[in-house]
Structure 1
Amino acid sequence: MNMFTRQISLAVVLGLAAFCAQAEEIRIGFINTDRIFKEANTAKQAQAKLEQEFSKREKELNDAGNALKSSVEKFEREAPTLSESQRAARQKQLGEQDRDFQRKRREFQEELNARKNEEFQQVLERANRVIKQVAEAEKYDLVLQEAVYINPKHDITDKVLKVINAAK
């Protein structure tokens, strides 16, 4: 949803809330999703799973990057003593190695981002179920996940985190 649509939606919801507030008391809650992603046990488990899954490849990429850097530095030191054809061949070889390294880095990053999205989508789905449970149990009329400003008395993040972290 683009920013304009969100702003319009928020304005409509708040307008509706103000209209309804005249008829009865309305309960509004707020969830800090950043805190959910940092503090929920399920999010911590997802992060640990990702680190375990990708740490070996990341180390290999870092090692390959360091090796490439060393090769470039060695070439720069030796370049003045090389013939023109040797220099051109080494430059071409280093260029190919760099392109290969950049491609592997990009593929790694894309795969890591895709897996992060998968894992954190599951965390978000779980959090949304818990948010709905808390909202229904405590009779909230509206729960927001994003706002420019929120009075801390409306923040129910701690309640939701408690329920998420209590679950197995």
Structure 2
Amino acid sequence: MKKRCALCLGVILVLLGQPAVWAETTSAQSVRIAIVNVATLLDNAPQSKAADAKLKVDFVPREKKLDAEQNAIQQLEDELASRNEAGSLPEEEKVQRQRELRDLQRKYTREMEDFREEVRTARDAAIDALQAGIIQAIGEVREQEKIDLVLRESNYIVASDRIDITNKVMQHLEQKFQAQTALVVPVPAAAPTPAK
């Protein structure tokens, strides 16, 4: 009966101008599905920690400089206020110092906005690169493990630990990081031994 229905369907498709494609399946093919926790990888991958360290190296000195400028402005404000309350500040000097203080505050505000924008841009670029690297690593692990479908942690409700490949991807990322670091870090040459 099944063959007869399939034949009828094939004839109808041919009459409609559609190619008839069918195959008898004698054995079911298994589909391998896995899950991965991308948030864990983003937080704990060595590439993530290296990106954080690079951002700190790039921006912490400038942040400290801006903090020092803010402290200096605060000291000037306090000094101006105390001298003004004591009445030891002539009006002309008071106006001049207030103007200088406003100029310093405006300059500081501009520098701080520029700094925040640069940090945001650098952080976004680092996150984009990190996400691309993680997606590539997931794809490489998927190929190695012959997995048909990988779901992100937010795309399922419940899953078995047996199909979670987060640790495998983390190990893959660690291996790639170590290989990359080995290429970048020069090995110090051995010191020559003194002649006797």
Between the two proteins, the alignment pairs up a number of residues equal to: 145
Q: How far apart, CA to CA, are the structure 1 residues paired with 2:41 and 2:66? A: 31
Shift of 1:127: 0.8
Alignment check: 8 A CA contact 1:30 1:150 kept? no
Specify the structure having the higher radius of gyration (Cα): 2
Q: Taking CA–CA contacts closer than 8 Å with sequence separation of 6 or more, which of the two structures ends up with the larger relative contact order?
A: 1
The answer to whether the 8 Å contact 2:66/2:112 transfers is yes
From the superposition, tell whether residues 94 and 152 of structure 1 become closer, same or farther in structure 2 (CA, over 3 Å). farther
1:8 paired residue number: none
Question: Which whole-Å CA distance do the structure 2 matches of 1:147 and 1:64 have between them?
Answer: 48
Contact 1:130 1:163 in 2 (8 A): yes
Q: Per residue, is there more helix in 1 or in 2?
A: 1
Change (3 A) 1:150 1:115: farther
Show structure 2 runs of 5+ residues with no match.
1-28, 180-196
CA distance in 1, matches of 2:143, 2:36: 14
Cα distance between partner residues in 1 of 2:101 and 2:136: 52
- Match of 1:160, as an amino acid? V
Asked if the contact 2:31–2:148 (Cα under 8 Å) also holds between the matched residues in 1, the reply is no
- Residues 106-125 of structure 1 correspond to what in structure 2 (within 5 A)? 106-125=113-132
Give the alignment partner of residue 37 of structure 2, picking from 23, 27, 31.
Answer: 31
Change (3 A) 1:151 1:88: farther
Describe the SS at the equivalent of 2:167.
Answer: helix
Q: Equivalents in 1 of 2:158, 2:61: separation in Å?
A: 42
Provide Cα deviations, 1:111-133, integer angstroms capped at 9, x if missing partner: 11111222222221111100112
| Cα offset, 1:74, TM superposition | 1.2
The residue aligned with 1:79 is 84
Q: Secondary structure at the match of 1:142?
A: strand
CA distance in 2, matches of 1:125, 1:71: 48
Per the TM alignment, residue 106 of structure 1 is displaced from its structure 2 partner at its CA by 0.9
State the Cα RMSD in Å.
2.5
Q: Counterparts in 2 of 1:1-168, with a 5 A limit? A: 27-33=33-39, 35-80=40-85, 81=87, 82-138=89-145, 139-144=147-152, 146-147=154-155, 151=159, 153=161, 155-167=164-176, 168=179
Query: Is the CA contact 2:32–2:148 (under 8 Å) kept in the aligned structure 1?
Result: yes
Residues 68-87 of structure 1, C-alpha deviations (whole Å, 9 max, x = no match): 11111111211221244433
Give unmatched runs, 5+ long, in structure 1. 1-22
- What's the secondary structure of 1:47's corresponding residue? helix
Distance change >3 Å, CA 57–CA 156, structure 1 → 2: same
Q: TM-score, normalised by structure 1?
A: 0.73
Mapped partners of 1:54, 1:100: distance in 2: 19
Percent identity between the two aligned chains: 22
Offset of 1:149 from its aligned partner?
5.3
